[in-house]
Structures are given as C-alpha cells and as structure tokens.
Amino acid sequence: MKKFILLIMIIFTTQFSFAQVKIINGTVTDLGGIPLPSANIIIKGTTRGTDSDFDGKFSIEAKVGETLMISYIGYETQSILIGTETIIKIQLKESSTTNLKEVIVTSLGIKKTRRSLTYAAQEIKAEELTRVRDVNIVNTIAGKVAGVTVTKSAGGTGGSTKVIIRGNSSVSNNQPLYVIDGIPMLNSGSGQPNDTFGSLAGGNKDGGDVISLINPDDYDGMTVLKGAAASVLYGSQGANGVILLSSKKGKIGKVNVTASSVTTFETAAYLPEFQTDYIASPGADESWGAAQKTNNHVKDFFETAVTQTTSLGYSMASENSSTAFSFANVSASGIIPENNLKKNNFGIRQTSKIFKDKLTFAANANYTSQTIINKPVNGFYFNPLTGVYLMPRGNDFNYYKDNFEIFDPTRNLMAQNWMTNRDIMQNPYWAINRNKSEDENHFFNGAIALTYKATDWLSIASRYSYNRITSSFDKKIYATTQGTLSHPNGRYINEDSFSAQRYADLIATINTKINENFSFNANIGTSITNTLINQRTSLDSGISAGLQYANWFTLHNFNNNNGNYQTIDSKKEIQSVFAATTFGYKDRLFLDLAGRNDWSSTLVNSDNIGFFYPSVGLTGILTEMVEMPEFINFGKVRATFAQVGNDIYPFITSQTYYYNTGISDPRPNAGPKTGTTLKPELKSEYEFGTEWRMFNNRLNFEISYYSSETKNQYLQVLAPVGNREGVIYYGFNAGNIENKGIEAIIKGGIIRNEKFSWDTTINFSKNKNRVNGIPTELGGRLNLTEAGVNSYRYALIEGRPFGVIEGINFKKDDQGRILLNDDGTFQRTDFEEVGNSNPDFMLGFSNTFKLGSFTANVLLDGRFGGDVMSLTQAQNDAFGVSKASGDARNAGGVAINGVRASDGVPVTSVDAQSYYTQVGGRAGISGEYVYDATNVSVREVSIGYNINPKLFPFIEKASVSLIARNLFFIYKDAPFDPNIALSTGEGLQGVDIYGLPSTRSIGLNLNITF
Amino acid sequence: MKLYNIKKTTIIISLLIIVSCTDNFEEINTNPNGITPELFEQDFNHIKGGFAPMFNNIQVLTPEWVYQLQQGLNCDIWSGYMATPTPFAGGVNNTTYSLVDGWNGFIWDYAYRNVMFNAYDIANKTKDKYDQFYALSLILKVEGMHRVTDTFGPIIYSDFGSQASIIEYDSQEDVYNLMFEELDFAVAELTTRYNAGEESTFVSTDLSGYNGDYKAWVKFANTLRLRLAMRIVKVNPVLAKLEAEKAIAHEFGVMTVNEDLFKIVSPVYTNPIATISNSWLDIRMSADMESILRGYEDPRIASYFNISSQFLGEYKGVRTGIELIAKADHQDFSGIGEVVSSNEIVLMTTAEAYFLRAEGALRGWNMGGIAQDFYEQGIEMSFNQRGVSGAAAYKVDNVKTPIAYVDPNFSVNNSAPVNNVTIAWNDSDSNEIKLQKIITQKWIGGFPEGQEAWSDYRRTGYPKLFPVLVNYSGGTITTQFGPRRINFVQSERTNNPGGVASGVSKLGGPDNGGTRIWWDTTGPNF
C-alpha cells in the first residue's frame, strides 16, 4: 500500500514539475466572506485545475491572458482573466432565484434542474455518507431523509438494512430500488429469517444484501426519489421508491489522491437486566432456586469490537477523459467473541470522449469480497446469547468458558461441556467455536455506456450492465452439539447461491426549445432486465441422517442425500418501452408526462403479459409568476399523479412440481387458487408539494403530502393446510394498502459569520396506512410470520395498519381484573392484536457547527409511536434470570389485580415463579411484553478538525475527526433498541428474540487529500 | 437525413427487442429445478408421489421435534407408555393437563397437509380410472384420519377440498360411517383384483412391509375395521358387532401371523422416539410401565426400555404429572429401548387383532373362536414379534401383579400399584376383570404406539394408570379421568372459524380437553 501511495506521489509531483509560469494564490468566499471549500478552479481550455481548501484558499499556476473559471454548487460560476496580479480574491454569488440551475440526477441518470421537478426528491451529499462512517452505507442515511425509515438487522457488522420509503405498501417487498449511475442494481440477499423459534438450518441468519457491500467512498452522494412519479421510469422495481447513487468522477484538470482511515470501537449498549440474588436448584435449567448472590457474567461475555476502514482513491481527468480508481478495506471484529468481518472493495471508472466529443464512452467495474465469521443469529437455535443470558445461575460461567469442551473417553473426542442438555441453550463458547459459520459474498458490477450526441438537441445513449453476486454459507457443527441441532456425529451445512442481473437500455434524449417561451425535453427508450436470484445448491447432512464419521465435514461423508437441494428463488425477464417528457413554459411552469409499458415473463400464461402505467406532474415557480415580498427568494408548488405496475412472483403461472425443504413429496410451491387468474399489481399515488427559500436562502423548507394505494397486490400466503391445489402457498391478487403521509424538510442557516456558523436541518415525516380487501376466505388476514409454538405472530389484518403484532393477553373480567383458575393458572386469550410495528411519525434533527478549523455535526433521530415485543425479556423472566424475576422474589411475589374465576375471590399477589413461568417464556402471555417503540437517540456526532496543510508540504487537505454513532438514547421504553429488526424481510418485525444487542460506536476518522 | 436514420434505427431496435424475445418467457418462467406435470406422470409418479408423505406422516417420521409435538407429548404420555423428565413451559403443559395449542396444532396440521391432502389428490387422479391406487389410498386415509377424529372428535372429512368460505366439520359418528364405507370399497376392489391374479402396481411405492401385496392390504383393512368396530361398541353396539363380524367373515380374514402386522418401513428414517429419548433425553419409561412390566417380570421389558444409567441394573420409570424442578432429576431414568432403534415403525400389531377378537368373543360376537384362546394367542404373538421367549409360562402366571412405584428422588411421587390384575385367564373372572386383562396385555403389546393405547384407555378405562399429582387444566380436565380429547387447533380457529364453530356444535360440549367425544361414553363396559 505504501508503495502505491509513493507511486501516486511521484506521478503527482511529476505533473507539477512540468507546469510553468507564475503561481496565483486566491481565496474563494461567498458574498458574506465565508470561505467556500472545495470550489472548483480550472483554467479555461486546459486540463489544469484545482480545488480550494477548507479556508477557501487555492493556488494555481497560470499564464497571463488565461481565464480562471471558479465554480461552486449553488453559486454562480465566475470567470477571471489573469492579469499581472498574483493574489486574487473571488466572491461568488449564490445562484439567484431566477437563475437556479441546481441540477439533480433523476430516473435513469437523467439530469434535471431541481426547479422543474414535479415530485419530491431529497439529496444527501457525499460527505454525509462518510462523515460518521458505517460499514453499510444505508445505515448512514437514518434520520437524514424525510419519509425514509431505516432499520438495521440484528446481523451485526456486515448485516443488511431495511429501508422503507413512505411506509409499507406491498405485502411481498417494500425495499427501494438502488440505482448506480442510472442503472438499476440487483440488491438481492440470500434470504431473511422468518421463524420465531430460530431456524434449525443453522440459525436465524441475515442473508445480507448487496447495498451493504458497496464502498461509500465511491459515491458522490445520493438522491432519494420517494414517490411513484419519481420512479415510474424504473417500472415495477421502483415501486417502493428509488435511491440513486452517482459515482465519483475525476475533476477536470487535477490529479486527486485521497486516503482515509477510520477506526471505530463498538460496545454493547442496552443489555437486558439480570438478577444476582438467586441461583438455580441443583440440576435445574431455570434459576428459581435458593437465594444466593451471584455475579452478573453477561457483560464480560461481550467484547469491544473494532472496525478499521482504510480507503484510497485516485482520480484524474482531462476534458476528454477521466479515470478513477478506488480501494477500500474493512476489517472488523464483533462484540461477540470470534465474530469478525473482512471486506475489500475495488473500483475503476473510465470515461472518454471521442469523435470531436460526439461520442462518450464510459465504463466502470466494481468488485467486492466479504467474509464474515460467525455472523450473529437470532432466535433460540445456534445462538450463543441464549446460553449466556439463561445459564442457570450458581454455575461458574468462566469455567464453562475455559472448558467449553472436555475429552470424552468413551468416544475418543472432545465433547461439549455444559451443565444441561437443552436445545435452546448450548454452551455459548461451544456455539462460537464448534458451530462456527462462515459467510462469504462476492459482488461484481460492471457497466459500459455509450452516448452519441447527434445534434444539439438529440442524444442517444445505450448502456449495458452486469451484476453478479455469489454468496456462500458454511457451517461446521461438531459432534456433541445438542441433539435437536445436530446428529451425534455432527452436521455440515454448505450453501452456495448465485444471483445475476443483466440490464440493457437504449434511450434517446431530446432537449429543445420550441420557441422563446416553450422548452421541450423527452426521453424515449427501451430496456431489458434479466434477473436470476439465488440459484442455490444447499447441502445439509441433517439432524437425523447425519454424518457417517464424526466431524468430517464433506458431502461424501453424508449418510444420505435428503437434506441436499437445488433451488432458485427467482428468474425473470422484463422488457420495457417508456417515454418521459417535460414541457416548460418560460422556465416557470413545467408539465411532466410519462408512460411505460412492461412485459414480464412472470405473467406468461395469464391474460396479459404486458401492462401500461402513466404519470403526470405539474410544477409552477410562484416567485416567477407573482410578485413576492423581497425576503422570499424562491417558491414553488407541485402536484403529480403516477402509477406503477408490478409483476408477480416468477414460476407461478408455469407450474412445476418440486421438492421443498421439509416437505417430502414434490409439490408446486405456489399457484393461483382454482378459478382465479393473476394480474400485475398497481400502485397509484397523488402527491402535492411546495418548496420555499427565503432570507437569502438562509431558510428553506419543503412540504409534501402524498396518498398512495397499492391494489391487486400479488399475495403469496401459506395456503390452508390440505388445500385442494396441493400448493404450499396461494398466489392471488387481492388486498390493497393505502398510505397517506406528510413530509417536511426545514433547513436553516441559523448563524453564519466568518468565525462561526450553525446550520440545521429538520426532517419530519408522518405516515398512516391501512390494509383493505383481504379475502374473507383468509379470515381477513394474512400472516407474515406464523406463530409456530411461540406467542408472537405478525400479520396484515383487514382495516388495520400494516404490520399488526399479535400475542396472547390475560383474560380479564369486565372490571379489568385478571382471571385465575382454581389451580392458580391464569386464563389466557387467544391470539389478538397487541401492537403495531410501524412508527406514527419520525423526526430527524441534524446540526452542523463550524468554528474556525473545527466542524461539529450532531444528528438526533426520533421515531414516535409503534410497538415492539420482547420475547427475550419474556424468556429471561420465565427462566428466573431477569432482574424483574429477582425483584419479584425479593418483594415476595408479583402484585396483580386478579380474581378467581370460580368464586370471585380477589387475588392480589402471585408467587413470582408461578407468575413468570406462566406469563413469561416464549409461549407465555406475550401481551405483557409489548413496549412503546418510541425512541429518540443521538444517532451521529462528529467533531472534526482541518489540519493546516502548510504543515505538510505535499498534502493538499487533511482532516481528523472524532465520530460517534448511536451514542445514547434520550428516550426509550423498550428493553432493547427498537431500531433493530430480526429480519430485513417482511416478517419478524417489532419483536426481539435474542437479537444481537445494539452497539454504541466511537472512533477516529482521518482524511487526507494529496 | 442522418438524424432520421438514427431515429428509425432506434425505433426498429426497440421493436425488435420487444417482439422477438417474449417467445422465451415460458422457458424463463419455468423453474428448472421442478418437474413438469407431463414428466411427473411417467411411471404414475404423479399418483405414487402422494403415497410416501401419507406413509411418512401417519406418525411423523421427520423432523423428530414434530413427532414430539404430534404424538410424543400427548398420547404417548396419556396412554401411560412414556413420561417426560423435562419441565417444558415451566411444567405447565400437556403432561399436567394444560393443553398447549402451540404443540397440539401439529397433530391436525400434519395429518391434513400430508395424509388427508394426498388422499384427496390421489382420489382425484385415480377414482374410476386406477381404482387399485384409489383403494390403497383409502385404507391409508382411514388409518391416518381415524387417529385424528379419535383425538379431536368432529373433524373435516366429507367437506375436505371444499372451496366454500366455511369448511364444515363432520360429527365423529359420520366420520366413522364414512370410514366403514371407504373400507368396504377398498376391500372389495382389492379382493377382486387379487382373485383375478392381477399384478400389483404398488410394489415400489409400498412403504409398509407388504411389498404391494393386495391380499395383505385387505387383511390389514379388515383388522382396521375390527379396531374401529370395537371403538364404537359402547355408543353403537349393533353396528359394532356387524362391522366386526364382517371383518372376520371376509375370505382373507384379519391378521393372524406376525408377517401380517402393519408397519412403515422407512428407507431413510429411524423411529423419531430414538432421537428424542437417546439424544434429547426428553422421553423416558413411564411409572405405569415400570409398575406393570416389572410386576409381571415381563421379558419384553428389555426390548422396550434401557436400564437406567442412574440406577444401575434397574428399570426406572418417571411418573407423569408430577412437579418437575430440574430435568436432571429424572433424565437418567430408563430411556426407550431397542424397539425404537429401527427404521420399522409398527402401527398395528397382529397381537392386537387377537386381543380385539378376544374382546369380541367376550361380548358374544362371532369371532371364530373363544376369548381365552384369542387372549393367549395375542400374548404369544406379541412375544414372538419381539423375539422374546417364555410366553408359555407367562400367559398362565396367576401370581404376579403390578408393583408399587417408587421415585428414588422424590417420595411424594410414590404410589401403590393401581392396575391390580394378574396375567392368566380365569374363566371365573367377571367380564370386567377379563376385559382389564385383555386391555392390559393389548396395552403392553402395542408399545410404543400411544395413540391406540390412549383410545383404548378412554374407551375402557384400562389399564388403570397413576393419576397426575399436578393438574393445570383450570378445572376442565379431571385428575380421575384425564384428557378425553384435544381442543380444536389454532390454525383452524384463525383460518376456518366457521368450521370450528360447526365442530363445537357437533361435539356437544365445550371445546376443551375434558369433553368426551362421540364413542367415549360414561356408560359401563358391558
């Protein structure tokens, strides 16, 4: 690596040694004298250029008679003819309201002026993505975009993240589409857990996703297109909103070498609370025995995790070509011992203009490899946390740590050493060391694009991209692992998945003025997307079948073939034609009309394989049309209506029989109910918005209202047992989900002067949704997560908001008293609604302070409303290890307002053990374990310092900052972090079942630009 | 001009992409890991494919934990065969009469998903077309589903496959009548084909020990009819006698030798009880088995159970329905023995056929012999089946009786013996004592299949079992009589509430474990 940097430096110095003539030193500021860092300075007609430093200062070599062009986003570009002076001061004027040329990247990479947009789009600058770095880029957008809910998985570092834009609108998938440089990216993962108990196939594991693999340093910021109108050009894939990423491009005239190093330290925050007063009876699994002081061993189990990210970037550009390389390495350990991650990213991007700039050629390639050892799981199986939390108190945890295996002379092997033989709680150190798992992901993304500029007003572009993801999961389960999880000789699980997407398009862009007053833009194109998701070979020696020789982990050692499968999650092709047009009138009134027709292979054999959907939008710049007070710089109103179609699951309409894991005969996995046909789902959305800028752009705000309805949802639900079609799932169109909401963004430059500035942004969003039209045959409900044997179920219920959490409650009399039977047992209800997993509204409050060379950022993130259930707490209670169970024993019982059902005798206190063994536990009265999910956290804090580059001759810019993520909660009700979900799929929301505790991270970020 | 050409090309290319490629949509949309319906029909696999899951799920063979919930933690325990040392759910569970919905749903769900559905599917594909398959599927359906109606009472039977929003439950009486009719059809069809010398089309599909032999299947069907007939003897003695005599009178008759017994021979799986007992230590010998087998010095004990690893040289059972504090307290009592370490799962023994005939003869039915002979042949058949000698001396022993139960760790669980009969047949015994002896021997012989033993226990009250000491049923299940059924399941309450309501009304009592099902009357045995 050092050699590489050295090489770059040589190139750098060589370049400059050729340069001649005089050196001009300059300063770029705004009209108020505030320095503008990273302003672009270029000598017109050459490739020479530079950037201003943090103080707005720059130096450049130039000849007399040359022209300096100085530009800065949001400001008008200035040109200065070089005379004899060697020191120049440049004051840039903020782009005035009449000349707001701010450009935003929209669908398909099409650039539009922000003012002409008819829908809501919100940008995040590159520095926001890397300032308080997270291994997963999307975790850094939490609280920064109105209307976007970001929920991390409990999979720890390298885990996936669930992103919901404007509420859940689909039963099957609510994640947005990620688009890199206008080309959709395949964001598939190898699956999400959906079992309340935990998967026997190696534990409830997060199969990851692709967006978590990319390198945040490769991108120049992000644009979030929230509504259907914004994404109509992506078709079905964009129905849940689109997140656009633009690659960093070389800046003209400048060699740019950047290096950054980030080290963060994470510690477990918000652990459950445990009692230290009682031990387990001899031999018992539950700690309901005698009073005896014990140590709380739980804290010592967790380690301080270290994440080290090193990234290097190199770019250079001339007017005709640009080149950029990047490399990043992440090396991280987890808070659970023996959990670690290694990730390497490589990127290259090249653009060239040929044939007198008529033809532009661009190509880029990115490759990422990631290996995670012992990716944390949740649920009861294969999870070391259950053993840590539930260990019968009175045992010496350290003894079992140091002696997790002991020699078994009868088998002549090292056997697990633990005080109990219980499927849900193995020796945690055995689980870590002898049930070890390895996840590996490789992601390749390659794209080429050709753009031909035929005339001033017409250009034609064609692009092709190929995404390829391979994932493997390997778990070696040693002999003497608990018998529910493994064969006596051990068990071997090995899965390999392959996913790929091929995308090609051809788009003609027309950009013309019809006459003085009318302008016309159009994009007409066609695209083809072919995806294959999770073509998987899955090997599992199984529990009853097993391995022939103990601990020999290879396919040939399997006793039989019953656990081995080849499967494919999805395979489809979508072909499309589309057109989007914008008519502009006097740069103040814009009308958007767009339409798209998709043909999807998934609809083959149904009435129509193709489906059309339109959008229309209108924007008016009020400040151009009406006389406004002086202090208003800009005002606009916009309205839009759009539809997005969505195809159905693949394979449904072309029926085949196949083996499904756990089902012993070949069956169709899913199919339509007899007498029904399938059609695409359709999302319709209205949106109204207004945007204002005032007081010299010191105060900006934007408000949007939207109302969407997604009809004819393709639902795939577990078919009733013994359905006559013999399918496991029914696929049908039914149900619609309504979302209505408001988003507001307020930005203020509260204080701005030469020495000190304070800028703030508030993102507010509120969403209400409702599920309708669930067929009565299904009892007006769809279970997204089945209850299994536990007291948690997650469902869509007719007339209720999306994502109802169901559980068991106490049965009560009309006075609200808990009913008890004569034998002291509680009467319980059936499953009923106990909460909802979605927040009512969200608030992000971001602040940036600048004082001299110091910059500080503080981001507060709040979610209000919604509920979560903690089965962790319930199980800890039932096992008598929780603080609550200890406190209740100390208090001589649990006070209740109860009554004996048979004779009406009041019951005011129940023995702690009797209470918690019935009410607690995974199958207990779970309604007692529902908490308000409202929380406000200090999400990000950073304090940065810009090092004076004069101290280091060959450094152009350098900064160092102290960063912190998830510092603490200002308010929280739940006994765990409600911003973490067990799954980033549709199931297992709003519940914690031994998920990894959330972490607080603090670290140091060093950035250098040469 | 140039511009015009480009435009034209664009349009043509666009059209070409769209027009030319949708032809392969069918291929793209076909899962390459699946088998198409046409290919599936080769070798009648589309019909045969449904049989394996029926065989494998009458008792769930895999995964083991499902067997545990489907049968292991209900009738295997309530029959008095086995007990668990594990205080599941804090000891408040099926074993202490607090019926756990999350467990018991598997009984229903697996039966309907695997047995009932495939029977329905095969019927649709074979009825009036390949009636030999249809006949065999009916026998398996009755074998699988009588267990379900005996567990719940009213169940979905005639209405299965209905597209109505409410799937009605049939009363248990209707279910029994339908099952007799289905056996009529199956027996007649297979008898005709056998007598015509037709070659069996069932050889490769047959996972029982019968190797596709139609005659053996008919004998099994006749014995099954005899079992069902006896089941309803208290509620409809006339029909019971009629059906029982019909079974005996059939030209192939009922099972008579041990080669006739009905078992699942799994090419892959061993009896799930082996794993549950040996590796999970979740199921042990019951106190009742210890009391009776040790009292009789029954040599079959060595096949049924292992010697306790805690009390060396001793068979030690666990009493059901006691206060369990730690699993470790009882987990090293006797596990289940070699009888479950096999890939052969016996669902109906030949011994049972003899004990059924003994009871029939006792009731004065024409069973082709006298009660004592059948009783003693039943004992011999069972010894023979287990490869155990000494039946001759055993069957005439009129001294030995069950012994008291002692829990070496917790004396509160101790009890004097309760099933106080000897082995030997004594003509001067009352019918009640004779019945107790027959059922006691049938109970021993039927081990470890707890479903039939629990039904016999409910019908006759024999063998007498140690009562639970802890009853968490909330007053719905009496300690004296134990659970009489299992309440309707969660999945049905959620997905088919109207159907459940129809079931409750046909049940004629509250939907809990204390309500007696149709054939389970409080009347006397005679």
- Collapse the DSSP code of B413 into the 3-class scheme (helix H, G, I; strand E, B; otherwise coil) and give the result: helix
Give the closest-approach CA distance of A498 to chain B in angstroms.
15
Which of A460, A568, A674 has its CB closest to that of B6? A460
Q: Report how far residue B79's alpha carbon sits from residue B460's, in angstroms, rounded to the nearest whole number.
A: 12
pLDDT tens, A179-208? Answer: 888 888 888 887 888 888 888 888 888 888
Q: From chain A, pick out residues whose CB is under 8 angstroms from the CB of B494.
A: 779, 781, 783, 831
Q: How confident is the model at residue A131 (pLDDT cuts 50, 70, 90)?
A: confident
Element (H or E) spanning A104, and its range?
strand A103-105
- Collapse the DSSP code of B101 into the 3-class scheme (helix H, G, I; strand E, B; otherwise coil) and give the result: helix
Q: How far is CA B293 from CA B319, B321, B354, B441, in A?
A: 15, 20, 20, 10
pLDDT tens, A678-699? Answer: 888 889 999 999 999 998 888 9
Q: Is B225 exposed, middle or buried (0-12, 13-18, 19+ CB in 10 A)?
A: buried
Structure pTM?
A: 0.83
The DSSP secondary structure of A916-982, one letter per residue, reads: HHHHSSTTS-GGGGEEE--EEEEEEEEEEEEE-GGGSTT-SEEEEEEEEES--EEEE-SSS-TTEES
Q: Do B475 and A283 touch (CB under 8 A)?
A: no
Q: What is the mean pLDDT of residues A79-87?
A: 80
Mean of pLDDT over chain A: 87
Helices B172-195 and B214-231: crossing angle in degrees, nearest 10, is 160
In terms of phi and psi (left: phi > 0; alpha: psi -120 to 50; beta: otherwise), the region of B90 is: left
Q: What is the mean pLDDT of residues A582-597?
A: 90
| Domains of chain B and CATH, by start | 3-271+339-507 (1.25.40.390)
- Alpha helices by DSSP H, listed for B64-111, are 64-67, 75-78, 101-110
Please check whether residue A269 is in contact with residue A335, taking contact to mean a CB–CB distance below 8 angstroms: no
- Alpha helices by DSSP H, listed for A773-931, are 871-878, 883-890, 912-919
- Collapse the DSSP code of A887 into the 3-class scheme (helix H, G, I; strand E, B; otherwise coil) and give the result: helix
Residue A374 CB contacts under 8 Å (≥ 6 apart), including other chains: A334, A336, A338, A339, A340, A432, A436, A437
- Per-residue pLDDT 10s for chain B (526 aa) are 344 555 555 555 555 455 556 788 888 988 888 888 888 888 888 888 889 889 999 999 988 889 999 999 999 999 999 999 999 888 899 999 999 998 999 999 999 988 998 899 899 889 999 999 999 999 999 999 999 999 999 999 999 988 777 899 999 999 999 999 999 999 999 999 999 999 998 998 899 999 999 999 999 999 999 999 999 999 999 999 999 999 999 999 999 999 999 999 988 788 999 999 998 899 999 999 999 999 999 999 999 999 998 888 899 999 999 999 888 899 999 999 999 999 999 999 999 999 999 999 999 999 999 999 999 999 999 999 999 999 999 999 999 999 999 999 899 999 999 999 999 999 999 999 999 999 999 999 999 999 999 999 999 999 999 999 999 998 899 999 999 999 999 888 888 889 999 999 999 999 999 999 999 999 999 9
More confident residue, A795 or A47: A795
Q: Do A721 and B50 touch (CB under 8 A)?
A: no
Pairing assessment for the beta strands A121-125 and A177-180 based on DSSP bridges: unpaired
Q: Do A917 and B33 touch (CB under 8 A)?
A: no
Residue A995 CB contacts under 8 Å (≥ 6 apart), including other chains: A154, A376, A378, A872, A976, A980, A982
Q: How far is CA B34 from CA A564, A568, A569, A654, A962, in A?
A: 15, 10, 12, 10, 55
Interface test with B, best of A498, A818, A823, A876 (most B CBs within 10 A): A823
Considering only alpha carbons, which residue of chain A is nearest residue B270?
A544
A708 is written with which tokens? 């969407």
- Collapse the DSSP code of B21 into the 3-class scheme (helix H, G, I; strand E, B; otherwise coil) and give the result: helix
A410 touches chain B (CB under 8 A): no
- Interface confidence, given as ipTM, is 0.78
φ, ψ dihedrals at B75, nearest 5°: -70, -30
Chain CA centroid to CA B516, Å? 19
pLDDT at A942: 92
φ, ψ dihedrals at A766, nearest 5°: -140, 135
Give the closest-approach CA distance of A1004 to chain B in angstroms.
48
Q: Do A656 and B112 touch (CB under 8 A)?
A: no
Give the closest-approach CA distance of A545 to chain B in angstroms.
7
Element (H or E) spanning A582, and its range?
strand A565-585
A200 touches chain B (CB under 8 A): yes
Q: From chain B, pick out residues whose CB is under 8 angstroms from the CB of A604.
A: 25-26, 28-29
Closest among A951, A878, A966, A870 to A920, alpha carbons compared = A878
Beta bridge partners of A683: A644, A710
Cis bond upstream, residue A488 (ω within 30): no
Burial readout A528-559 (b: 16 or more C-beta within 10 A, e: otherwise): bbbbbbbbbebbbbbbbbbbeebbebeeebbb
Three-point CA angle A929, A933, A934, nearest 5°? 140
Cis bond upstream, residue B417 (ω within 30): no
Q: Do B32 and A543 touch (CB under 8 A)?
A: no
Q: What is the mean pLDDT of residues A800-807?
A: 92
Closest among A463, A467, A485 to A475, alpha carbons compared = A485
Q: Report how far residue A503's alpha carbon sits from residue A530's, in angstroms, rounded to the nearest whole number.
A: 6
pLDDT tens, A441-485? Answer: 999 999 999 999 888 889 999 999 999 999 999 999 999 999 889
Please check whether residue B230 is in contact with residue B356, taking contact to mean a CB–CB distance below 8 angstroms: yes
The DSSP secondary structure of A457-492, one letter per residue, reads: SEEEEEEEEEEEEEEEEEEEE-TTS-TTTS-TT-EE
Give the closest-approach CA distance of A657 to chain B in angstroms.
5
Please check whether residue B39 is in contact with residue B30, taking contact to mean a CB–CB distance below 8 angstroms: no
pLDDT at A12: 42
Closest among A365, A366, A530 to A448, alpha carbons compared = A365
HEC per residue, A716-751: EEECCCCCCCCCCEEEEECCEEEEEEEEEEEEEEEE
pLDDT reading at A262 higher than 80: yes
Q: From chain B, pick out residues whose CB is under 8 angstroms from the CB of A778.
A: 495
- Collapse the DSSP code of A601 into the 3-class scheme (helix H, G, I; strand E, B; otherwise coil) and give the result: helix
Interface test with B, best of A564, A664, A926 (most B CBs within 10 A): A664
pLDDT reading at A221 higher than 90: no
Which of B3, B40, B471 has its CB closest to that of A657? B40
Quickly tell me which residue has 């106490």 as its tokens: A810
Q: Report how far residue A248's alpha carbon sits from residue A38's, in angstroms, rounded to the nearest whole number.
A: 14
In eight-state DSSP terms, residue A278 is B
Q: From chain A, pick out residues whose CB is under 8 angstroms from the CB of B53.
A: 663-665
Q: What is the mean pLDDT of residues A988-1010?
A: 90
Please check whether residue A211 is in contact with residue A139, taking contact to mean a CB–CB distance below 8 angstroms: no
- Collapse the DSSP code of A692 into the 3-class scheme (helix H, G, I; strand E, B; otherwise coil) and give the result: strand
pLDDT tens, A600-637? Answer: 999 888 888 888 999 999 999 998 888 888 888 889 99
Considering only alpha carbons, which residue of chain A is nearest residue B493?
A830
Note which residues in 873-932 of chain A have CB less than 8 A from chain B: 878, 902, 913, 917-918, 921, 923
Note which residues in 20-49 of chain A have CB less than 8 A from chain B: none
B164 is written with which tokens? 């109505």
Q: Report how far residue A416's alpha carbon sits from residue A406's, in angstroms, rounded to the nearest whole number.
A: 7
Beta bridge partners of A252: A317
Which of B18, B35, B87 has its CB closest to that of A599? B18
